[in-house]
Amino acid sequence: MCPAKVTGGKPRGWIIPIGGGEKKVSSSTILSRFAELSGGDDARIVIIPTASQLDDAGHRYETVFGEMGVRRIDIVDLDTRESCEDSGQLALLGRATGIFFTGGNQLRLSTTLGGTSAAQTIRRGNAVGVHVAGTSAGAAFICEHMIAVGKSGPTPKRGMATLSPGLGLTNRIIVDQHFRERDRIGRLLTALAYNPFATGVGVDEDTAAFIGPDDVIEVFGSGGLTIVDPSDLVHSTMAETHQGKPVSLIGIKLHILIAGDTYDLATNTALPAAAQD
């Protein structure tokens, strides 16, 4: 699955995976940046709480965005595949300038939205400038290759991560969330060993990777962003390793970025904030 084609001369919307645990207050640099990109007071933000089983998941973000001055906020609860074909829900998605996926279980997102008109509407919207953010499970879902489940630990092992198709807004990255807090470097490396085409993006809590139309990542938030670049991988034992056994990976590059740092996905180049002044 490739991202929807950009047409009409408009730049693609920003894609914003958030590591989870972001401050749900109006002073949050992450949420306020998303609201600003989406149009500020004139934004039309749609919140999709499908991943969560908490009744108030969408309303918590509705309150925060409202306190920021956003006047048009809709909660679109796509809780069944039937609801993903509802004309009223699709109309709300089609009018959005910003779409926000809450956290929860990413498999609830992929199994509910996958292949539906709702998913197609979001993909087409992002291609013409609608900004799409997702926190925790929502962050994992926005990519083409989604880590569905996996185990914690520092060393990659065969079977440590299970992948499934995500929303497909980008095929350049694989995202893992709650990254440092839940010791997920091993499962991200495992996911990349299955397909070294993509770049790994491990997002700490209260941290976000703002991926612009130029495929440059800007880091916001209080934690770190771990970039795993397999473009120079020269050796992998994934094909020969038995289930549950460690995998050898030689030639991997790793960067730790913090707020203000950037990473160009097209050139695999990291820059510190100081070098951009």
Which are the catalytic amino acids? Answer: 136, 178, 205
List of residues 6+ apart from 223 with CB closer than 8 A = 19, 180, 203, 204, 205, 206, 207, 258
Pure H helices in 42-184: 57-67, 87-95, 106-113, 117-127, 137-141
Backbone angles phi, psi at 119, to 5 degrees: -65, -40
- H/E segment holding residue 186: helix 185-194
What letter represents residue 188's amino acid? L
Burial (Cβ within 10 Å: 0-12, 13-18, ≥19) of residue 201: buried
Residue recorded with tokens 């919307």: 13
